[in-house]
Amino acid sequence: MPENLLTVRGLHKVYGKRDSKFEALRGINLKINRGESVAIVGKSGSGKSTLMHLLALLDRPTKGEIILDGTNTSKLKQRDLNKLRNKEFGFVFQQFFMNANDTVLNNVILPLKIAGVGAKERRRRAMHALTIVGLESKAKNKASDLSGGQKQRVCIARAIVNNPAVIFADEPTGNLDSNTGAKVEETLFSLNRDKDITLIIVTHDEELAEKCNRQIRISDGRIESDEDLATEREIEAEIAAENEELRKNHKTGDMDADGLRDDATVSHVKVKEVK
C-alpha cells in the first residue's frame, strides 16, 4: 500500500479583487503518494504554476486545504510553514537562482544555514549532496564559473541537502539544451528512484512529463486529466457529503451561524471533530 504524502481538497486560488478578479484555480482535488514522480502539465496561464506554489506552501489558497503528511497546513502559522518548507521541500527553478559571486559549496549550504545547522555539519552535508550530483570537485569554484547544466545540478544538490520529502522542480530543463537537460533529468529521477524522494515537476515539456510515472494536466484552473482521477472523484464526494452534513447541522443550530459552507471551513470543522 503506497503511503499518502499530500492530499489536496477543494483548492481555489483567486487573485485580485472585484473587477480584476482572476480565478487561477477552481477546485483542485488530488492525492500524491510518497515516492511518486508527478508531472504537472498545462499551457501557460492554466494555473499549473499557481498549483505548484500552493503545493510548495509558498502561497496560501483562497479556499481549500493541503494536508502534508497528515498535517493540515492551512492551520499552520507562517513560521511553521517556513520551517516545514525548509525541512521537507527542495526547490529547483528554471532560472537556477544561485548567488553567482559565492562558491558552489556556499550555494548548496544555504538551506542548512537558514535552518541554523552548525558550520561543520552543514559543510559535511553539502559535500555529500554535491557528491550525489557528481560535482564535489567544483565545491570551491565560484558559481558563475559553471556551465548551465552544472548550475542546475548544483541547484539539485541544494534541493536535497536537507534530505527533503519532496522536490519541486519548476521547468528544471527549460534553460538547458537537450544533452545537459537529459543529465539533469537523470539526476532528478535517480533521486526519485534511489532515495524515494517524491518529485513534483511543473513543465510544458511533454517528453519530460512522459518520464514521470503520473501526469496531471491542468486547464483553466481545473484538472483536465490524471491517472488517478478516481481518487479525485472520491475526495469530491467526500466534500459534498461533509457539506450536506454541515447544512443539516446548521439548520439544527449546532454550528456557528456564519454559514460554514465553503471548502476551507469544512476542514475547520473536520479538524475539530478529529480532536
Partner 1 sequence: MKALDIIKEANQSLLRNKLRSFLTILAIFIGSFVIIISTAINAGVNDFIDKQMESAGGEDYLEIMSTATSDSINSLMNGEVIKEYDKKSTNQSDLQITDEQVEKARKIDGLQSIDLMTQFQVEYFKLEGFDKKYSSMGFNLMPRGTLRMDLTAGRMPNNDDETTYEILVGQDYVKYFGFEKDEDIVGKKITLYAPETLKCSMTGNADDCTKPVELTIVGVQAPGVMAMGGARINVAAMNRITDINYAGLPNEARVSVMATAQVDPDRIDEIKDKLAEIGLTAMSIEDEIGQIKTFFDAMLTVLKIFGGIALVAASIGIINTLLMSVQERTREIGLDKALGMSNGRVFATFAIEAISLGFWGSLFGIIVSFLIGQAVNFVTHETILSSLPTFQLIIFRAVDLISITLIIMLIALLAGVLPARKASKKDPIDSLRYE
| Footprint of partner 1 (CB under 8 A) | 53, 56, 58-59, 78-79, 82-87, 91, 93, 97, 99, 101, 110-111, 113-116
Strands 4-15 and 22-33: antiparallel
Least gap, CB of 133 to partner 1 (angstroms): 17
Contact of 81 with 58, CB cutoff 8 Å = no
Least gap, CB of 22 to partner 1 (angstroms): 15
Least gap, CB of 135 to partner 1 (angstroms): 19
Least gap, CB of 236 to partner 1 (angstroms): 28
Distance CA 26, CA 116 (A): 38
Which ranges of 136-225 does DSSP label H, i.e. alpha helix?
148-160, 178-195, 206-211
Contact of 13 with 62, CB cutoff 8 Å = yes
Q: Which three cell numbers stand for residue 17?
A: 479583487
Q: Which is nearer to partner 1, 115 or 271 (CB)?
A: 115
Where are the extended beta strands (E) located within the chain?
Answer: 4-15, 22-33, 37-41, 63-68, 71-72, 89-93, 166-170, 198-203, 214-219, 222-226
Least gap, CB of 58 to partner 1 (angstroms): 5
Q: Which is nearer to partner 1, 99 or 131 (CB)?
A: 99
* DSSP letter assigned to residue 67: E
Least gap, CB of 50 to partner 1 (angstroms): 9
At 10, is the secondary structure helix, strand, or coil?
A: strand
Q: Which is nearer to partner 1, 170 or 185 (CB)?
A: 170
Burial of residue 268 (CB within 10 Å: 0-12, 13-18, 19+) is middle
Q: Which is nearer to partner 1, 60 or 214 (CB)?
A: 60
Least gap, CB of 53 to partner 1 (angstroms): 5
Least gap, CB of 60 to partner 1 (angstroms): 11
Q: In 3D, which of 36, 31, 88, 103 has the Cα closest to residue 57?
A: 88
Q: Which is nearer to partner 1, 101 or 179 (CB)?
A: 101
Q: Which is nearer to partner 1, 42 or 90 (CB)?
A: 90
Burial of residue 103 (CB within 10 Å: 0-12, 13-18, 19+) is middle
Q: Which is nearer to partner 1, 110 or 191 (CB)?
A: 110
Q: Which is nearer to partner 1, 119 or 240 (CB)?
A: 119
Half-sphere exposure for 50 (CA within 13 Å, toward CB): 27
